Structure 1
Amino acid sequence: MPDTPISQGNFVLYKQRPARVLQAGERVEIELEEGKPVKVRAKDVVLLHPGPLERLSDLKPQEGDLETAWELLAGDTTSLAELAELAFGDFTPATAWETWRHVADGLHFRGTPEAVEARTPEAVEQERQARAARAAEKEAWDAFIARVREGQTEPEDERYLKELDDRANGQRPDSRILRALGIADSPEKAHDLLLKLGRWDHAANPYPPRLGVALNQPASDLIELPDESRQDLTHLPAFAIDDEGNQDPDDALSLDGNRLWVHVADVAALVPPDSEADLEARARGANLYLPESTVTMLPPEATRQLGLGLSEVSPALSFGLDLSDEGELVDVEVVPSWVRVTRTTYAEVSQRLDEEPFKTMYHLAQLSEERRVQEEAISIELPEVKILVHDGQVSIEPLQPLPSRMLVSEAMVLAGEAVARFALERGLPFPFTTQPPPDTFERPTTLAEMFAVRKTLKRSQQTSIPAPHAGLGLEVYARATSPLRRYLDLVVHQQLRAFLRGENTLGEEEVMERVGAAEAVTGGARQAERLARRHWTLVYLLQHPNWRGTGVLVDKRGTRGTVLIPELSLEIQLPVPEDMLLDANVPLILTGVSLAELEAHFRIE
């Protein structure tokens, strides 16, 4: 039959369906089972029998013995016509169709009409076992889906549910389970189903894995602290001022006359460029701060050895800052040092601002802040909270705007300005932090004004070319006070250390390669932190279903408002009265939480 041209009345196969040829030519007109004529290409049909076939309805089931035919032919090859004659005693369109259906089934036979292979008994047995396994798997799958529809699972369902875990964690692009259930296929829907099934509880935070952020602690080795000359500043009382419970104290302050010293953990002494620890920190970009845990960019041993105040005496890189009466930096000294640090809290220091050295420190910070304000620095003080998770219970504590916070933050800004000037004056390649100015300058005073101004701010950038940081009101700036927590701060310290020791520093291209590497990963980490904080805030609301509180209207579009809840540092969208003014207090009552969708629902009381 391979050389037989297609002609009228032939019985052919089209896309594995029986068809009758109505008219031959360049385009073959065929009739399918539905009775409607279709024109197709000649190469798209396969001749099964020359016919004539008057009606497709003539293809009725035939009585024969295909299994005996298989036993006789096992291991051999024949044609469809010969197989039909052997099994049915005749080769007609009806027996050709019955025979082809068995060939297409693939258990005993396989091939083409011209060459039908009778499979060996071993191959047939393997195929039978495979089909039985597929049938059993389908039965198990169907039973699993039926259980899930009822909100139930069994221990043997683990192999299926792992797929749902991976979908919710963003580790796979789709879910067979969600499709089978007719549920929209998304990580959020997978998360929601896992919660409904009780496989996940509210503590499951899928955002770090969904964003590709590592959750394992680094295990790279650190070098030994070099035996080298350091300036002894242990005679100066130094204070690491942090929130209660802080685990990585990497900066401290002390005073020598009117000179403000900012001491920073000397991480570069243990983590030189391209060391194992440096490469791992570069791959992480920064510490990951989640309410339930902290994942560091450096091995925990780095904090144990270098955290200021964790040992009686600590190695530091110290910045001595001299300010004018107008708060201008007039001199900076950068030295490796030994410091003796006392750990304390913002609350404690706020109670001691009338005592030395805190009184003078605070005065210097005020001078610096006033100078920056005159340079149109932008201050946005939206409410902040500290979210803690202990044994699954969430607590949310508002961070009070204590004056000691301004003291520390201003000292860190001064250190960043001083370091940037130090590098600029010496031609030292550096990752400077810059920020273009907003299109219009406004000095916000209310929450709504701060919310509006925040939306106009342009993103800060890390660049090797020094430029102003408009938000800080500085001509030049570099982040330099958190080398235990931020990789580019560590690069700053590595450059300073090499310069002070008279060693080769990184070139501009090498610095920017590190900037690119860090920025490639820190965006995901910061987003994971934001989403995790919202997740745990919603868990807090689930644990307090009768929550009532007050929000502030900070934005409004018609009757749709954005309300900020200060005690939760949570922004929500909800309908508001058309005549409600910005900064109005909004009494709220919680009506529901959709955890997987990260949505909380409120109504105005």
Structure 2
Amino acid sequence: MNVFYEEAGAFKVGSILIDNNTSLQIEASHGKRSKIKATSVLLRFDTPPLSEFMNHAQETADRLDPDFLWECCESDTEFASNTLAADYFGHSPSPIEAAAILIMLHDAPIYFYKKGRGRYKAAPPEALKAALASRERKQRQAEQQAIYIAQLSAFTLPEAFRPQLLSLLYSPDKNSIEWKALEATCATTKLTPSKLLEKCGAIPSTHDYHLNQFLWEHFPEGIDFDEVNPENNRDNLQDLPISDVTAFSIDDATTTEIDDAFSVTPLTLGSFRIGIHIAAPALGITPASSLDKIAAQRLSTVYLPGNKITMLPATIIDHYTLGEERLCPVLSLYLNVADDFTVVSTESCIERIKITTNLRHEALEEYFNETTLRNNNLNHPFSKELRLLWDFSCKMEILRGKASDLNNEKIDYNFSIKNDRVTISERRRGSPIDKLVSELMIYVNTEWGKQLADASIAGIYRNQGGGKVKMSTSPAPHQGLGVSQYAWSSSPLRRYVDLINQRQLIALLRAEAPPYTKGSDALLIPMRDFEQAYAIYSDFQRGMERYWCLRWLLQENVHTIDAQVIKENLVRFDHLPLVARVPSLPEILPGTYVKLKISQIDLLERSLHAQFLHKQES
């Protein structure tokens, strides 16, 4: 005796070895023995032979029409499969016919709902109609997917992919047939989705690929601004007093958001007055205003080689930037300095100043550098002011316990992109221009942070302890700078935390209630968001600098290059801000210079292959 039974959703057959009433010991046609429950058995038979039964049953089931059988059933009544088989065949069904009906019912779940062992119910007409439509749609999708796979395998981009390229590259809908076709083709071609789409011509610009990925994730609504105007709804800037100082700024040639300027006024007996003047957008951009919401969303200007995404619209920047020959609203910190460069007293005020000129690094460095300082030969219209500010900066650096060596070998790199060609130039870090500006910025951020803390007015501080930098609403030492507290306040056109701190400072100077309290969400949320955004923007900038370094290697047709070992197989390329791992590098002491062979530069992956050639002679 043989049995036809169901196990794990599949039909099987076997011959009975032992019948224990509630269970059976059976043997399959290929000899495997197993134990099954008696309730799993759907029918028993002697003929045809076990080895032929399933083939005959399947052939019979394939000839059955589920549409016709569904028409024969009432949709609201359960039925036994044997009853349907008897009605269909017109006689008591043979084992083959009974099994065929069961197979057909099992294989047509959209027509018949299973209700128990051997029992089914016909699907309601509306449900069947919807299921058939869904099946037809899936079939069409499968056929379309096959067409996409064929096109992608031939490295041809399907036209339907073009409107979806950004989403396919950066945040695909993994249930879409386009993504499934792309994924299937990647599996056979052994390419990543981005590399496959690149081979299909969908990524004409690797630069735009990286930029668009960043914009897709962090600027989903685009980088353009709605048309806005300076609000000036808090103050009439024309009522601010006008200072008679001669002020100038120092920035690189690409800077449009000029946040800071300086002035030097001689006093009696060799003393002098230093003015540190910071652009004051907080006078017009009020909390929760439309402009404030823009700044709070962007949080910082984003920098990348050859481009930037500003925190504020160009019209607002132009209104508040410290452009030359303009009368500009500023928040000023004045330092009364003795002839030995000791700060005697300080004073903060809100005013307007006229910016005499915007000095640019590239032009100024010719006149203001280590050599001209050493020879006391500053042949420049602002030579006296620059010399005093330089000597003051050196004194402040010493007081912070951070005196630097003029022979500092650390290098900063500038990227210039013109007509898709990149120029990478080096500037030694800590040059006189850098030191002068940075020391004055450290002083103003330290002093204004102290003023907020002394007045018990909330601010956002940048603290460092144990080598870890964090943002906080509580003043604490910044060990890296050697100051007691440090509150970013000097770049309100470029950083949202500076704009917040400037609002607090203005309230302090005017003896008004500050707009932010220490524990308020209005202070804590922007601080948290800024810290996250600043890290993301910095990573993006480093990634794009790496991209342009690789572009430069290709552009200059560089095949070999010098590099310095950092540790293990990690090296830093000579004259480039680029690090890479060299798997073939032997065990060499850090600091050693080596010659490398460059190959396999991949701009999409921002990677390259470097091979060790030999050590450089000392």
Global fold match (TM > 0.5): yes
SS at match of 1:499: helix
SS at match of 2:598: strand
Q: 1:477 to 1:346 in 2, by over 3 A?
A: same
Q: CA deviation at 1:326?
A: 6.2
Q: Aligned ranges for residues 320-335 of structure 1 at < 5 Å?
A: 320-323=334-337, 329-335=343-349
Could you say which residue in structure 1 is the equivalent of 2:544? 532
Could you say which residue in structure 1 is the equivalent of 2:95? 93
Q: Which amino acid aligns with 1:83?
A: L
Larger deviation: 145-154 or 159-168? 159-168
Q: CA deviation at 1:55?
A: 2.9
Could you say which residue in structure 2 is the equivalent of 1:468? 477
Whether 1:398 aligns to 2:426 is: yes
Contact 1:349 1:358 in 2 (8 A): no
Q: 1:575 to 1:153 in 2, by over 3 A?
A: closer
Contact 2:462 2:470 in 1 (8 A): yes
Could you say which residue in structure 2 is the equivalent of 1:442? none
Q: Which amino acid aligns with 2:465?
A: P
Residue by residue over 1:159-210, the C-alpha shift from the partner in whole angstroms, topping out at 9 and shown as x without a partner, is: 77565323489999x9534541354999x93333332222113221155257
SS at match of 1:338: strand
Could you say which residue in structure 1 is the equivalent of 2:526? 514
Q: CA deviation at 1:338?
A: 0.8
Q: CA deviation at 1:108?
A: 7.9
1:181 to 179, 185, 194: 185
Whether 1:216 aligns to 2:211 is: no
Q: CA deviation at 1:260?
A: 1.7
Whether 1:276 aligns to 2:272 is: no
Could you say which residue in structure 2 is the equivalent of 1:409? 438
Distance in 1 between residues matched to 2:408 and 2:180, nearest whole Å:
47
Q: CA deviation at 1:70?
A: 4.3
Distance in 2 between residues matched to 1:328 and 1:91, nearest whole Å:
111
Q: Which amino acid aligns with 1:263?
A: H
Q: Which amino acid aligns with 1:371?
A: L
Whether 1:147 aligns to 2:155 is: no
Q: Aligned ranges for residues 549-560 of structure 1 at < 5 Å?
A: 549-553=561-565, 555-557=566-568, 560=569
Could you say which residue in structure 2 is the equivalent of 1:253? 262
Distance in 2 between residues matched to 1:416 and 1:365, nearest whole Å:
14
Whether 1:492 aligns to 2:495 is: no
SS at match of 2:255: coil
Residue by residue over 1:299-347, the C-alpha shift from the partner in whole angstroms, topping out at 9 and shown as x without a partner, is: 3332121111067211111111234566554432221121222222013
Distance in 1 between residues matched to 2:465 and 2:439, nearest whole Å:
20
Q: Which amino acid aligns with 1:196?
A: K
Q: Which runs of 5 or more structure 1 residues have no equivalent in the other structure?
A: 1-7, 438-457
Could you say which residue in structure 2 is the equivalent of 1:301? 315
Residue by residue over 1:270-325, the C-alpha shift from the partner in whole angstroms, topping out at 9 and shown as x without a partner, is: 22233333344233331111235322223333212111106721111111123456
Q: Aligned ranges for residues 412-491 of structure 1 at < 5 Å?
A: 412-437=441-466, 458-491=467-500
Could you say which residue in structure 2 is the equivalent of 1:104? 106
Larger deviation: 384-393 or 79-88? 384-393
Residue by residue over 1:404-437, the C-alpha shift from the partner in whole angstroms, topping out at 9 and shown as x without a partner, is: 1221112111111221222232222221222125
Whether 1:346 aligns to 2:361 is: yes
Residue by residue over 1:114-169, the C-alpha shift from the partner in whole angstroms, topping out at 9 and shown as x without a partner, is: 2331665x876766665444333223312322332332223244477565323489
2:60 to 34, 37, 62: 62
Residue by residue over 1:353-411, the C-alpha shift from the partner in whole angstroms, topping out at 9 and shown as x without a partner, is: 42132222222122212322458999986322223444544333333544212211121
1:593 to 592, 601, 613: 601
Q: Aligned ranges for residues 5-84 of structure 1 at < 5 Å?
A: 11-20=4-13, 36-39=32-35, 48-49=42-43, 55=50, 57-59=52-54, 60=56, 61-62=59-60, 66=65, 68-73=68-73, 77=77, 78-84=79-85
Larger deviation: 250-259 or 585-594? 585-594
Distance in 2 between residues matched to 1:521 and 1:123, nearest whole Å:
50
Larger deviation: 32-41 or 98-107? 32-41
Could you say which residue in structure 1 is the equivalent of 2:372? none
TM-score (norm 1): 0.81
Distance in 2 between residues matched to 1:363 and 1:582, nearest whole Å:
37
Q: Aligned ranges for residues 277-292 of structure 1 at < 5 Å?
A: 277-291=291-305
Q: 1:255 to 1:208 in 2, by over 3 A?
A: same
Could you say which residue in structure 2 is the equivalent of 1:449? none
Q: 1:208 to 1:79 in 2, by over 3 A?
A: same
Contact 1:242 1:249 in 2 (8 A): yes
Q: Which amino acid aligns with 2:7?
A: Y
Q: 1:182 to 1:93 in 2, by over 3 A?
A: farther
Could you say which residue in structure 2 is the equivalent of 1:134? 138
Q: 1:141 to 1:374 in 2, by over 3 A?
A: closer
Distance in 1 between residues matched to 2:64 and 2:173, nearest whole Å:
55
Larger deviation: 389-398 or 528-537? 389-398
Distance in 1 between residues matched to 2:451 and 2:189, nearest whole Å:
54
The alignment covers a number of residue pairs equal to: 568
Whether 1:114 aligns to 2:119 is: yes
Q: 1:374 to 1:133 in 2, by over 3 A?
A: closer
SS at match of 1:418: helix
Q: Which amino acid aligns with 1:251?
A: D
Q: 1:84 to 1:604 in 2, by over 3 A?
A: same
Larger deviation: 247-256 or 577-586? 577-586
Larger deviation: 572-581 or 326-335? 572-581
SS at match of 1:304: helix
Larger deviation: 525-534 or 489-498? 525-534
SS at match of 1:586: strand
TM-score (norm 2): 0.80
Q: CA deviation at 1:38?
A: 4.4
Distance in 1 between residues matched to 2:73 and 2:340, nearest whole Å:
104
Distance in 2 between residues matched to 1:322 and 1:515, nearest whole Å:
33
Q: CA deviation at 1:33?
A: 7.7
Q: Which amino acid aligns with 1:116?
A: K
Q: CA deviation at 1:85?
A: 1.9
Distance in 2 between residues matched to 1:216 and 1:80, nearest whole Å:
65
Contact 2:174 2:180 in 1 (8 A): no
Q: Which runs of 5 or more structure 2 residues have no equivalent in the other structure?
A: 267-271, 369-377, 614-618
1:366 to 394, 398, 411: 394
Could you say which residue in structure 1 is the equivalent of 2:326? 312
Distance in 2 between residues matched to 1:482 and 1:28, nearest whole Å:
84
